[in-house]
Structure formats: C-alpha cells, structure tokens
Amino acid sequence: MSVDTNTVKRVAKLARIRVSDDDATRMTGELNAILGFVEQLDEVNIEGVEPLTSVVEQTMKKRADGITDGSKASDIIRNAPASEDNFFMVPKVVE
C-alpha cells in the first residue's frame, strides 16, 4: 500500500501537525519508503496466530478504587505555558 500527498495531508490533520505543501510532498516519499519496507510482512503466514498482547505473562495488577494522590494542583500547572488560578488557559473554544 502507498499513500499520496492528499492522504499525507489528511493524516497530518488527524495528528494535528501543520504541514506545508512542500512538507507533504517530501513526506509522501519518506512514508512510502517505510510502508514499502513493512510490506514484507505480507509474506508471513499469520493464519490462526494470536496477536501478542503482553511480552511477560502476568495477570493485570489491580488495586482498590480509592483516592491515593491529589491536592497538588499547583504542581500540575507548574509547567503550563499559560495558567490562571490553577487552571490551564487555552484559546476560547466556545463562542
């Protein structure tokens, strides 16, 4: 399978990365090189093979559903590019 420049632009939109027309053209070639490389997997017979979901067999650890952490709002917003009163500030999203 290969991608065209429009597909690259659509995927970039999904990934929320702005790309110029030049970027998209260049990336199309690069992505097709990678997709061409992974095409080798078509040679493998995967009939009846289960996907690997965990490399180490173990049952998922569980803990009681309780509050174990918190009251550190100022720590959490400490690195924010914009914040006010322990809230993250973003451009207006609702008119």
Partner 1 sequence: MTDLTKLTIAEAREGLKKKDYTSLELTDAFIGNIEAANKQLNAYVAVTADKARDMAKASDAKLAKGEGGALEGIPLGIKDLFATEGVHTQACSHILDGFKPAYESTVTSNLWADGAVMLGKLNMDEFAMGSSNETSYYGPVINPWRKKGSNQDLVPGGSSGGSAAAVAARMCMGATATDTGGSIRQPAAFTGTVGIKPTYGRCSRWGVVAFASSLDQAGPIAHTVRDSAILLKSMASVDAKDTTSVDVEVPDYEAAIGKSVKGLKIGIPAEYRMDGMPGDINNLWQKGIDWLKDAGAEIVDISMPHTKYALPAYYIVAPAEASSNLARYDGVRYGLRVPGKDIAEMYENTRAEGFGEEVKRRILIGTYVLSAGYYDAYYLKAQKVRTLIKRDFDLAWQNGVDAILTPATPSAAFGVADQDLHSDPVKMYLNDIFTVTVNMAGLPGISVPAGLSEDGLPLGLQLIGKPFEESTLFQVGHVIEDAAGSFEAEKWWG
Residue whose structure tokens are 């997997």: 41
Sites for partner 1 among residues 9-48 (CB under 8 A): 11-12, 14-19, 27, 30-31, 33-35, 37-41, 43-44, 46
Query: Binding of partner 1 at residue 85 (CB under 8 A)?
Result: no
Query: Binding of partner 1 at residue 80 (CB under 8 A)?
Result: yes
Distance CA 77, CA 90 (A): 13
Report the nearest approach of partner 1 to the CB of residue 51 (Å). Answer: 4
Contacts 24+ apart (CB under 8 A), 42-49: none
Query: Binding of partner 1 at residue 55 (CB under 8 A)?
Result: yes
Which residues does residue 87 pair with via DSSP β-bridges, in sequence order? 84
